[in-house]
Amino acid sequence: MPFHQLIYASRPFGFDDAALNGILMEARRYNAGHDITGALICRPDLYLQLLEGPQDIVESLYQRIAVDNRHLEVELLVSQPVEDRMFPDWAMLHDPAQSWLWTAEEVSDGAIQRASNEDIVAVFERSAQDATT
Ligand SMILES: Cc1cc2nc3c(=O)[nH]c(=O)nc-3n(C[C@H](O)[C@H](O)[C@H](O)COP(=O)(O)O)c2cc1C
């Protein structure tokens, strides 16, 4: 399998437009230069990020992101080899979380921890579909 796919969830700390734009700018600059693509689903109670690319780069990037103080409770959900990228055209797609995602109440009640790998990946499949239509 040529690519590695990694998905984590976390809780934003100090979430506002300026913070988010800073993260996205930084992410896109680095990712574009390092063969990384993906998507960041964001809303005040939740970051859900998918990173994809060469395994060593994805894993070392995740190690840096995990200790970033702009979010808390970083939790690895999926880490697996994949045949194809889901976001080949996006250094980092920004997806303001849609209504079909778990509600804030469901999230605080552990919906993400209970979700299967397939459920989590399906969230991003939906996001990728929306991005191309
Ligand atoms: C939610 C979130 C998502 C991030 N996504 C990326 C990303 O996709 N690519 C990236 O290079 N940095 C991303 N960052 C920033 C990194 O955590 C880190 O600040 C950056 O890699 C610079 O690391 P350094 O200061 O150790 O060089 C993200 C940060 C947060 C809080």
* Residue 123 pLDDT: 94
pTM of the model: 0.96
Q: Which atom of ligand 1 is nearest to the CA of 42?
A: 1
Pocket of ligand 1, beta carbon within 6 A: 23, 26-27, 30-31, 40, 47, 49, 61, 64-65, 68, 70-71, 92
What lies within 8 Å, CB to CB, of 39 at 6+ separation is: 49, 50, 86, 87, 90, 92, 93, 94, 95, 124, 127, 128, 131
* Residue 15 pLDDT: 87
CA of 114 to the centre of ligand 1 (A): 26
Domain that includes residue 47, residue range: 3-132
Q: Is the pLDDT of residue 100 over 80?
A: no
* Residue 83 pLDDT: 97
User: Looking at residue 38, which CATH number applies to its domain?
Assistant: 3.30.70.100
Q: Is the pLDDT of residue 127 over 80?
A: yes
According to DSSP, residue 87 is labeled -
Tell me the C-alpha distance between 127 and 133, whole Å.
Answer: 10
- Give the pLDDT mean for 112-118: 96
State residue 114 phi and psi, 5-degree precision.
-80, -20
CA of 46 to the centre of ligand 1 (A): 16
> Count of domains in the chain?
1
CA of 24 to the centre of ligand 1 (A): 8
> How far from chain centre, in Å, is Cα 45?
14
